[in-house]
Structure 1
Amino acid sequence: MTAVPALPAVAKAPVSALPSTLEAQLRQDYKLAILLAFDRFKEASGDALTPARHKFVGFYNARQIDVPDWVRAASPTISMSTLERWAKARATGDAAGLAGRYGNRKGTGVLDSAVMDVKSYMVAVLVENPNLSMQAVRRLLVQRFGEDLELFDGTSRPMPSERRLGVLWQDWKAKNRQLHLALTNPDEWKNRHRAAVGSYSEGIERPNQLWEIDASPADVMLTDGRHSIYVVVDVYTRRIMVLVTKVPRTSAVLLLIRRAVLAWGMPEAIKTDNGSDFVSREAERAYFVLGAAHPTCTPYSPEQKPHVERAIGTVQHSFMPLLPGYVGHNVAARQAIRSRETFAARMGEADADVFQAQLTGLELQNLSDTWVENVYQHRPHEGLGDRTPAALAESCAGREARLVDERQLDLLLMPAPDGGDRAVGKKGIRVENADFWAVELIPHINTGERFDVRLDPEDMGRVWVYRSEPFEFLCIAENPERAGLSRAALAAEAQALQRQFIVAGKAALRSAKKKFTAHELADALIGKPAATVTALPTAAPPPVAALPPPVQPSAGVIAAQRAVTAATPTVSRPRDDAEQARTADIARRIAAPATPAEKPEDRWWRRAQDIEARIAADAEVSEEDLDWLHTIETAAWYRARKNDAARKAAFARAVE
């Protein structure tokens, strides 16, 4: 084997410039080392240039030329043309030629050099149709641009092969990862790449200043089907509350708000998206009567309520996987859980069986409350400076605006039938094919004035009536049949009170009429000086109440307080003493109707209860009593009282 002297320092090689990267430097160094080894081999052999190259290449590839290990690792073999090209680059001082022009040809391929923008068209097609094969893509490109592409230098080249097009597509995706994700999966791009320099909690300085509410299908299959969860978060303290519901709807939103208000206090603002359960008339009314602003997110912008989005994610990813019946948070996870059993084992099984559902909706609610109270509320939160929601909430105790009475909140969040907007007719207010009446409605019969009506969830025989502008409690109206009242007696009382109301009104007008004469009225109309005309008495304009600050009770809360305490409405005092006495008597009867004398229905109801009690105790019951009981069982008042008693008994059992 021909011995080769030790190599001198490579840095002395005659090149014009040094490469710009370590990889390029390595490529230049090993090529210079091999060229120097060839120079010494040729000098020692005494052969001409071409024969010497042939011999050197053969010896080098047979590993009979001694070179450093790093040179051999960089270039295990060489060829005649390679050795000749390297020698030419060294002779001309072409450092880039020895370092390798990697990257110098980027952007000079056929698609980049084509006169037509073929590459952009290919990218657009694949972004819209990512599952297209390269064979189909090339066929589309050929149909649109032809088999041969005209280049900027005046030449033409054939359309790249399918394999080359695939390489170009992968190269484009690698260089444009963020753009590709934004085009193909905008939601994922928002999560990964969208700049988040600002903060949606900026300016939140106190508890209950802003709540965020959102909903999501629960990632747990229950024995009574899959449910949804609603989550509310107080942005300042990061406290959360979870509500499990079978069907997402406004009533669930109101129930969650009720629970949160009782636990945390009154909110100043509640932020939601534009889902129908959040922006329905019933929901908007609830925000209004609570005195809470209701900002909504721009459509398809969940990042505008990030706190509740993260809270739901925490519930779904940290709590739900611990429960039996977990179905996964996405299709891939769900399919992985399904695949734990063979297809044959899953054949014919319901989802509840496949996912091994064991919990009911009520059990999931109880477990959620326990997890929130014992785990979530005591986790340090980065957004709170590593404090826990429970600790921060405790430090803010006493700063929340709270309701005085829980019953007030029940009134505010009562369901409204078909929007709740009603007028008063001759038979009262009609709700769900039934007429509801109260003497307080007499002045409003067929006036066109609209009222806000709420259903009483505990008694289907009555509704709660509120004025709309301003929002204030008016009365409780009852349906005679459902409440077990005598419609005839009620009608007689209503007509008597209405006559008194009209008589009092006429008397007040007669009193006012005495204050002017016909000629004075004519003088006023034709523009005589005001000094000669006795001014007509006018009522003072109602005082305008300033909107209370957020921490003060809202108009809705005040209305609820009046409903709970059954406030007596104010009646103006007439001038005449006799008229004053009659009007005061009407006011007393309207505000607090006297307890009516015992009705026949009351006696019949007691007799019916006595007979039924004796039947239940197997005591002796006469044929006359049995026949009488069978006769009244079909009466409307009896069925109404019977249903009311059954509802109250069921409610008492539920409370126990």
Structure 2
Amino acid sequence: MKDAYTTKALAELLGIAPKSVLVRSRFECWECIERAKKLGGPLWIVASMPERTRLAIAARACPAACSTVNAPASPASPASPLTLQGAAKTRAHARAAVVLAARVFAAASKMARTRALDEFVVHYNAGEIAVEPDVRAALPSLCRNSLINWERRAQNQGMASLAGNFGQHRKGAGIIDSQPQVRELVLGLIAEYPTISAELIREDIERLAREQSGIRVPSLRRMQAWLAAWKEQNPQLALYMRAPDRWRGQFMAACGSMYELITRYNQRWEYDGTPSDIMLNDGKRYAIVGVINVYSRELLLEVAETSTGQTVNNLTRRALLDWGIAEEVVTDNGKEFVGTEAQGLFLDLGIMPTILPPFRPDLKPAIERVFRSFSHHLLTLCPCYVGHNVATRQEIRERETFAKRLMDRKEPQELSMAISPEALQEFCDDWCKSVYAHRAHSGLKGKTPWQMRQEYTGEIARIEDVRALDVLLTPLATDGGWRSVGKKGIRAGAGYYDHAALGPYVGQRVQVRVNRADAEHACIFDEAGKFICEAVAMHGLESAKRREVSLAKRRVQKTDLNGKAKEMREAARNVDAANAGQRIMDMHKARAAEIVAAAAPAAHTETTHTTPMLDSAARAARLREGVPPRAHEAEVAAARALAVAQQSAQEERWLPESPKAQYKLCRRLQAALERGDAVPQEQAEWAKIFAGSNTYTGFAMLEQMQPIAANG
């Protein structure tokens, strides 16, 4: 409540005529501060009024004051006001409003606290304290002790404690909330299909009950009631899932100023373009792209045939030369803003680009609002048409909807204007510099963009060499401008670009910038951004000139390679690279020796592996050395000796190949030895070994069962 009021303000507060206020002031001897009539007349001092009048003013002033009084700081509480829903939220809101109203009333009445609260209760119960209808409905009457308890509870436990604990013992006990699987299913369906009906949700719960035992299916009425209660308790979440754009406009927090931290000129630029194309009188479609300097609200607009990265760069060039270097640029995710051309220019200039997420125009409100202002001014100053001569009434109607259609993002459409592109660009420039620049802005505390620029006392960074800026603005070749330098040069467009300085870069990646207005030359930069040369289009040169460029490139290439090769050979000699292999092998051998020396004895045990063939071979080896074979090795040694003897006999070609012929030969040799005939020692040894083989044993058994003819 104020300390003094005008006659008109008191009349509105007390609900009486201004003349009655003057009569009461004389009757009750109010004190006042004299003022001229044109300033509102005298200011009546509340402290000089009798108690009855002060209480009446305090009762009427409570609603207005409550909206400006902050709730007392309270300690952290498990319950937050944001978690309250339904009736609990209503109770907490009503009690908090009444507590604040009582506090304002007590401060305005200038009475002792207890007496002031008693008076407040009397006036409130009599309906003389004006509060919101929902507060009055929740608390039709109250008492002093309730006010004291509520205020103490709010200070000690937080504002959420004013909701009480009504029905908390039943919370979550319903057929849906008590089954976590069912609740998760319902919330998942709502998230995926925000407009789904209760009937379909119940049918899916029935499906779940058929697949899993123990699932209880709610009735259709229970499902409808739960869905309605959930939407009532979660209006923000329900709208966010159903229509995010509507939620942004209805619920999204927008406290304070978006630009309260913008304190420097060129601290932030915002870009945007018209979502709809404009058909001008040359029969071509055009778009308008704009940039705003948020600190001063200065604006530049660019009219272009298509909204491309080159359009953005042209607009940026104008802004750089007019305003200076920006610290940060903010764009949406349009292809003209996120493309290589625009983003590359920002990074080359050391400007921090910020790309906003889709469908978030609220994050760059300055450029959004200025386009609305521009489109409405454009409506009244520029002739518009839709392709035919129409009646005046229809023409006015089209003008009324032009601004809306121009900025319609949901359904962009083609609009028509009866002016040329040059005339539209001239109009945009004039409107920005002569109209908008000298219009006062509430966000600038009543100042104009021109005043903000003139009164800025800080430093403004500028680009002195405009030619350097023009080089950076030269469009990149396709695919980001990256090319590999080949033997014939750099392929860009329909031909090759080459230069002698490219010799050392053959096989490396470079960035190529080709000016569309001068396609005969291209600026070449290495991967670090260092300028290499200005290459020439080879297809535009005579054969002699091309040969001259090629030879010069080869000389530079050889000189560079020879110099680098010389350095590498010198390095090879310094490090003795020729013996690197032996040094590495020695290192591994030394490392292996260290490992073996430091290791403990092996933990495994070894056993002897043997097979019949190994045993026979061992016996044969011992025979050759004059050592009699061991009994258990006889069979293995015999087989090995037989194999050795057969191999030797086959080499001398006296041993037949078939086993049957070998058996016959062995019998003949045995008979000769028995008769005492002379037999070569090698054949005698073979016969002795073969007689112990399985082959001999097998044929001997067959001979006993069915004699075999000696001559076979």
TM range (shorter): 0.3 to 0.5
> What TM-score comes out, normalization by structure 1 length?
0.47
Indicate the structure whose relative CO is greater, using CA pairs within 8 Å and at least 6 residues apart.
1
> What TM-score comes out, normalization by structure 2 length?
0.44
Higher helix share: 2
